[in-house]
Amino acid sequence: MNHASPFACSILFVLCASGDASASVSSVSPVSAQNFETRVLDAIGHPERSVEEHARAFAEGGVASLPRAFALAATGRFDFTVENGKTLELPLSPELRQALVEGAARWPRGELATFLAEVARRKSTPDEAIVGLQLLALVGDERDLPLLDSLCEPHAAPPGPSPEFREALESALGGIHERDPQARVHAARFYRDTQPAFAESVLRVLGRSRAPAALETLVETLGAHPELDVVVLTEIGRVARSLTPPVSDATLESVRSYLHDAAPTRQRAAAAALVALEDVDAIPILIDQLDDGPELARAALDALRRMSRRDLGTTSEGWSRWYASEVAHWRVTEGRAGNVNSGNRLDAVNELLALGRARLFRHAAAEYASAGVVRPEEDVARLACEILGELGSPVAEPALESALDHPNDAVRNAARAALERIHASAAPAPRPPRVRLQRR
């Protein structure tokens, strides 16, 4: 049984004596209202308790307390009138407001959805919408995307949503996508249909994902809000850096088409995204753009330097010769790739060394070189691990992980070092922000 603190009891006595204890509790019955008010006051009097303890106590108040809990979380204060008619205000800490939200999230989903739909129907205040989004961050799924949009719609007008509002929206979208992967299938449509003021938040949430579906969804959003295509291309690059190849030809072609866009900003963003996608087929286009205007040429040159890890000047001639040489070398190397697992020891070593020089085609090279890890010669297996570490492709991780159980210490150490190099070079996607209540 929960016992109210002396502080809570004294305040509740004043409330009851003034006759106002249930005046602002909406449709909650007097008995349940008093019970919930007691719980809130008890929580105020015990700031040392954890959010989880407070949330559990609030949830025990029953779903009838939802309107009151929602209002308190939105306003951040507990108001009451004393005997002389003066209104007093008790501020609620961010932790208590968080507990109110988490407690409400434990009530039946159907009741929550119905209540939030009513909040959206009557055009919520910004603070109410933020609390609604925080609830969806905790329990929402794909079915709640229209509700999420309805909560946001009244707050799209200039000056636009606050940073706290955007954070709550992104937390809600992130939570829904995490719990319901199918939500990503509908994310492109949601992006097209939502207000421009909120569309960028959809992109940021997709950009935090490591799922291949997120990359495909981002590509689908291109063109829906042209003013945000630079952001879309930036997020495509962010997701691409965390995925294991290959990437679909359709994705590469869609991004590549923006190299010919009329807007220089989109051209630059496309070039940067293609670097992250390691689109070798974009290189001839980038080389041709070295002879275009200075702004586009700078973006193309930067992309070429990053993809090649070389600096071959600012004109197309040197880069064209380099690219032709790389392609010719790769064709010969790929044609001999079978030597890694079926050739004699010398042929296998020579092919592994050739694959190690194929940086431009490192993912395909890593796939071929992975076969060397299981060669019976321990020195060849060790060399294969070292080559895979130099290539740095995540494609090689399964082969290297299996080599961690190799009977030879040198092979195991080489495999471990290669995996460390691959993991160190990977760009992790940032985590979605925690649901956090506004401070007042």
Predicted local confidence at residue 269, as pLDDT:
96
Q: 223: left (phi > 0), else alpha (psi -120 to 50), else beta?
A: left
User: By percentage, how much of the chain surpasses pLDDT 70?
Assistant: 89
Q: How far apart are CA 322 and CA 101, in angstroms?
A: 60
Q: Looking at this protein, which amino acid is placed at residue 200?
A: E
Residue in the block written with tokens 């760009």: 427
Q: How do 77-81 and 87-91 pair as beta strands?
A: antiparallel
CATH 1.25.10.10 domain span(s) along the chain: 336-423
**Mean pLDDT along residues 323-327:** 96
Predicted local confidence at residue 240, as pLDDT:
92
Binned at pLDDT 50, 70 and 90, residue 357 comes out as very high
Q: Which residues neighbour 189 within 8 Å (Cβ) at sequence distance 6 or greater?
A: none
One-character DSSP codes across 13-34:
HHHHHHT-TTTTSTT--HHHHH
Q: Is the pLDDT confidence value at 130 over 80?
A: yes
Instruction: Check residues 159 and 231 and name the one with the higher pLDDT.
Output: 231
| Top-confidence range, 22-31, 42-51, 353-362 | 353-362
Measured at the CA of 40, the angle between CA 38 and CA 43, to 5 degrees, comes to 110
Binned at pLDDT 50, 70 and 90, residue 12 comes out as very low
Per-residue pLDDT tens digits for 174-217: 999 888 777 777 888 888 888 888 898 999 988 888 788 889 99
**Mean pLDDT along residues 324-344:** 93
Q: Which residues neighbour 178 within 8 Å (Cβ) at sequence distance 6 or greater?
A: 432
**Mean pLDDT along residues 319-330:** 96
Per-residue pLDDT tens digits for 378-409: 999 999 999 999 999 999 999 999 999 999 99
Predicted local confidence at residue 21, as pLDDT:
38
Q: Is the pLDDT confidence value at 5 over 60?
A: no
Predicted local confidence at residue 342, as pLDDT:
84
Cα distances (Å, whole numbers) of residue 395 to 6, 21, 237, 362, 374: 63, 65, 18, 9, 16
Binned at pLDDT 50, 70 and 90, residue 354 comes out as very high
Q: Which fold has domain 336-423?
A: Leucine-rich Repeat Variant (1.25.10)
Per-residue pLDDT tens digits for 270-296: 999 999 999 999 999 999 999 887 888
Binned at pLDDT 50, 70 and 90, residue 34 comes out as low
DSSP H helices in 241-277: 249-256, 264-277
Neighbours of 326 (CB within 10 A): 19
Q: Is the pLDDT confidence value at 117 over 90?
A: yes
Q: How far apart are CA 160 and CA 315, in angstroms?
A: 45
Local structure of residue 260 (DSSP, 8 states): G
Q: Looking at this protein, which amino acid is placed at residue 97?
A: R
Residues 197 and 161 sit within 8 Å (Cβ to Cβ): yes
Q: Is the pLDDT confidence value at 53 over 80?
A: yes
pLDDT averaged over the chain? 86
Binned at pLDDT 50, 70 and 90, residue 10 comes out as very low
Q: Is the pLDDT confidence value at 13 over 50?
A: no
Instruction: Check residues 157 and 49 and name the one with the higher pLDDT.
Output: 49
Q: How far apart are CA 362 and CA 369, in angstroms?
A: 10
**Mean pLDDT along residues 365-382:** 96
Q: Is the pLDDT confidence value at 56 over 70?
A: yes
Q: How far apart are CA 20 and CA 85, in angstroms?
A: 10
First to last CA, the chain: 33
Neighbours of 193 (CB within 10 A): 13
Predicted local confidence at residue 33, as pLDDT:
55
Local structure of residue 241 (DSSP, 8 states): T
Q: Is the pLDDT confidence value at 62 over 70?
A: yes
User: By percentage, how much of the chain surpasses pLDDT 90?
Assistant: 60
Least confident interval from 6-10, 19-23, 32-36, 317-321: 19-23
Helix (H, G, I), strand (E, B) or coil at 79: strand
Predicted local confidence at residue 79, as pLDDT:
81
Residues 385 and 355 sit within 8 Å (Cβ to Cβ): no
Question: 77 forms bridges with which residues in the sheet?
Answer: 91
Predicted local confidence at residue 433, as pLDDT:
37
Binned at pLDDT 50, 70 and 90, residue 2 comes out as very low
